[in-house]
Amino acid sequence: MAYLPGVGRELVKAAMEAPFLEREEEKQLAIAWKDRRDGEALHKLASAHMRLVIALAVRFRHYGLPVADLVQEGHVGLLEAAARFAPERDVRFSTYATWWIRASIQDYVLRNWSIVRGGTSSSQKALFFNLRRLRAKLAHAPQSAAEASDAFQAIAGAIGVSRADVELMNSRLAGSDISLNSQLIEDDSATSAERMDFLVDDRPLPDEIVEDRLDSDRRARWLADALKLLSERELRIVQERRLSESLVTLESLGDRLGISKERVRQIENRALCKLRKALVRAQDQAAPE
């Protein structure tokens, strides 16, 4: 195994010099760790498989992350495999550990490849790590006219996801993250515009929210004072006809009050006129000089 940029020479050297384990020796080390928590046994087991960790980590170096970090994450997966390995089963530890090492590295890549979290389901993970390979395969392999015109659909069928998922992942892989604080024009000037400056927020500004709340409280107070100017019958008609969630008809309200619906309408109009005058007067008094 040649020296890898980003991976310490001592680590690569130690991995290359670690002895291979025979099946029975590997099994005994796994039993010693599982039953007695023998740290020395775990160290020998892990050291013998560090070349496997490095080999798997190198496969993910094209995602732009430090290889040393990938190796560290792979080592975490190796230790997880050692904690879960069942020595009594007739399976080599390397076969069992490969899945845990790869899973740990893949999780690290998904967490750090982009600031936008993605690929949380197993199908999305498969799409993320296989999209590039499948696109290259479709581009070079003989295809029917339908497959050639719809590569996304073919990829979706191969992985078992929707076409929309493939298109979304493809757009994510096509571009890198862009900071909202990055300048639109490369300029050392402190006044250069940032992308954040062009984001539109349709919500009211804080001062508008406060102003609206104050105005609402003021209008509610004016209305309460104006309602006090109405007679008992006027107040009841206004409340049931204008201020209630379930509004009543002129006819039904007239039946309850023992008057005609036309009379109810007249009283309602008179009461509304009183309220309108009282509210205008209150507004004029509150206006600044």
Given a cut of 80, whether residue 94 has pLDDT beyond it is: yes
CATH number corresponding to 206-286: 1.10.10.10
Q: How far is residue 283's CA from residue 186's CA, in Å, rounded to a whole number?
A: 53
Please name the amino acid found at residue 176.
S
Instruction: List the chain domain ranges.
Output: 9-112, 122-174, 206-286
Instruction: Average the pLDDT over 189-201 and give the result.
Output: 71
Q: Measuring CA to CA, which residue among 59, 54, 91 is closest to residue 73?
A: 54
The pLDDT value recorded for residue 75 is 92
DSSP codes of every residue in 30-91: HHHHHHH--HHHHHHHHHHTHHHHHHHHHTTGGGSS-HHHHHHHHHHHHHHHHHH--TTSS-
Instruction: Average the pLDDT over 168-177 and give the result.
Output: 65
The pLDDT value recorded for residue 148 is 45
Look up tokens 């804080």; give the residue. Answer: 206
| First-to-last C-alpha distance (Å) of the chain | 87
DSSP codes of every residue in 176-219: ----TTSBSS----TT--BGGGG----SPPHHHHHHHHHHHHHH
226-265 pLDDT, tens per residue? 889 899 999 989 888 888 888 788 898 889 889 998 998 9
More confident residue, 69 or 200: 69
Given a cut of 60, whether residue 155 has pLDDT beyond it is: yes
With pLDDT > 70 as the criterion, what percentage of the chain qualifies?
80
Q: Could you tell me if 134 and 143 are in contact, meaning their C-beta atoms sit under 8 angstroms apart?
A: no
The pLDDT value recorded for residue 53 is 92
50-67 pLDDT, tens per residue? 999 999 998 888 888 888
The CATH number, out of the four listed (1.10.1040.10, 1.20.120.1810, 3.30.565.10, 3.20.20.70), of the domain defined by the range 9-112: 1.20.120.1810
